[in-house]
Each structure stands twice: as structure tokens, then as C-alpha cells.
Amino acid sequence: MSELAKAATRATRLEASFMEKSRELDTIRDSLIQSEERAKTDTLTGLPNRRALEEFFSQTQLAAMEQGEAVSALLIDIDHFKRFNDEFGHGVGDQVLRLMAKVLRERVREVDLPARYGGEELIAVLPGADLAAGTAVAERIRRTIAECHITRRSTGEALPGITVSIGVAQFQGGESMADLIDRCDRALYLAKKTGRNRVVSESELEPAQEAG
Ligand code: GH3
Ligand code: MG
Ligand code: MG
């Protein structure tokens, strides 16, 4: 074989080996993206989890402060869910939680972030929405859930209606996510105290007690 032919063969082999490595890298990159997605997704509801929420909030917070855009947050808690679980079992409760997640996902826009905040608490962060807009979204979510007819999958038996209470607050420049959620939580508490199946906005709260 001439030197030239040998060199050509070597080049072909090198190219093949390069292609193979590059395919391997693609596979590794894909599985990395997948595991990052999994790490940010709640397994029960398929909603973004708290980690995803924190990431989204810090990006949104920056944009809001730079552009002076309003951002609001809704904290949603199922009413008397413990009683529901006790009566129908945790598995049926989990189905209900999935249904709530579905309603939430369908009721917010592409730019919003619906997430599972804790056990039976869901949250949504709405960039571009002030307190009034956030409250209107919360009210639509509350009503949609209250109007759901829930049936037990295994038997088709009708289950009692589920309601949620929602606390709404608007981001104030410079505050942390914890501060914002704390006001949502206080509004939520007021919604529970004043009868449940209600939306309460932070404008209905007493001014916060100054610490110190
Ligand atoms: P309230 O109207 O005051 O919110 O009453 P509640 O019974 O819903 O009280 P709370 O919010 O404190 O109760 C949380 C209950 O939610 C406890 C637990 O039974 C239920 N829960 C929390 N996480 C899950 C979950 O992942 N699956 C199911 N099925 N139930 C859950
Ligand atoms: Mg709760
Ligand atoms: Mg509850």
C-alpha cells in the first residue's frame, strides 16, 4: 500500500472514531439534561418542585427589579385535606392532589411557574401580574376547583367536592422569596380563618408588626 493510501485509511479511521465519540457525548449530554429535569420535577404531581421554584424566582426577581415589572405569587392549600385522606385513604388523596396540579397548570400562562410547594400546598409565581391580576387568577383557580366533580377511579363513586384557600401577595423590590411567601401565607391563614374556599390578598392584612 502506498504511503498515501495508508494515510487515507488512518484518516478514515480517525474520522469514524471521532464520530463515535461525538455520539457518545450527545448521549451523555441528553441524559444530563434529563436528570436535571428530574431533579426539578415533583414525582407525584409532575409539577416543578421547590428547587425549580427557587431558580425561577431568582431569575424573575432580577428581571422584575431591572425592568420594574410587577410579580405576584399565589399560595394554594387544600381545605380539610386531612379529613379527606382519613375518610377516603391517602391514595385517593394523592389523586386529588394530581387533579389540583392539573387545574393549576391549565390556569396559568406559559410565562408563569406553577409548582408544588409542600405536601398539599401548591404555589404559582406570575411575572407581569400585580396584586389585582394575581388575585383574579387565584379566583379563577379557586372557582374551577370548587366546580370539579371528583369520582373515585376504582369504583366510579362520586366523592365530595374539594375546595382550596389561596393567599396572594405581590413582590416588593429587594425582598427574598421567603418574605413574599410569608405574606402569601398570612393571607392564606386569613382565608382559612374566614371560612375557607376563599381567596385573600395581602391588601386585606393588617400592616406587619415591625420587628425589634
Ligand atoms: P385546612 O383546611 O386548615 O388546610 O385543613 P387540612 O386538614 O388541609 O390541614 P393541613 O393543611 O394542615 O393538612 C395537611 C394535610 O394534607 C395532612 C396530610 O394528610 C395531607 N397531605 C399532605 N401531603 C400529602 C400528600 O402528598 N398526599 C396526600 N394524600 N395527602 C397529603
Ligand atoms: Mg397545608
Ligand atoms: Mg390544607
What is the dihedral sign for C-alpha 113, 117, 123, 125? negative
Q: Is the CB of 98 under 6 A from ligand 1?
A: no
Q: What is the mean pLDDT of residues 68-82?
A: 97
121 C-alpha vs ligand 2 centroid, how far in Å? 6
In a domain, 108, yes or no: yes
Q: What is the pTM of this model?
A: 0.89
Using the predicted structure, report yes or no on whether residue 71 has a pLDDT greater than 80: yes
Looking at the structure, tell me whether residues 32 and 65 fall in a common domain: no
Looking at the structure, tell me whether residues 26 and 109 fall in a common domain: no
Nearest CA to ligand 1 atom 24: 119
Count of domains for the chain: 2
Ligand nearest to the CA of 84: 1
184 C-alpha vs ligand 1 centroid, how far in Å? 18
Looking at the structure, tell me whether residues 74 and 177 fall in a common domain: yes
pLDDT of residue 139: 98
Q: Is the CB of 42 under 6 A from ligand 1?
A: no
Ligand 1 nearest-atom number relative to CA 77 = 4
In a domain, 70, yes or no: yes
In a domain, 44, yes or no: no
Bridge partner list, 201: 168
pLDDT of residue 132: 98
Looking at the structure, tell me whether residues 9 and 55 fall in a common domain: no
Q: Is the CB of 102 under 6 A from ligand 1?
A: no
Tens digits of residue pLDDT in 1-57: 789 999 999 999 999 999 999 999 999 999 999 999 999 999 999 999 999 999 999
33 C-alpha vs ligand 2 centroid, how far in Å? 32
Using the predicted structure, report yes or no on whether residue 97 has a pLDDT greater than 60: yes
Looking at the structure, tell me whether residues 196 and 170 fall in a common domain: yes
pLDDT of residue 208: 63
Tens digits of residue pLDDT in 150-203: 998 888 889 999 999 999 999 998 899 999 999 999 999 999 999 999 999 999
Looking at the structure, tell me whether residues 63 and 31 fall in a common domain: no
Using the predicted structure, report yes or no on whether residue 209 has a pLDDT greater than 90: no
In a domain, 45, yes or no: no
Nearest CA to ligand 1 atom 25: 119
Looking at the structure, tell me whether residues 35 and 79 fall in a common domain: no
120 as an active site residue: the answer is yes
Looking at the structure, tell me whether residues 116 and 170 fall in a common domain: yes
In a domain, 166, yes or no: yes
For residue 212, name the pLDDT band (cuts at 50, 70, 90).
very low
- Domain carrying residue 24: 1-39
Looking at the structure, tell me whether residues 27 and 60 fall in a common domain: no
Looking at the structure, tell me whether residues 99 and 145 fall in a common domain: yes
Looking at the structure, tell me whether residues 1 and 78 fall in a common domain: no
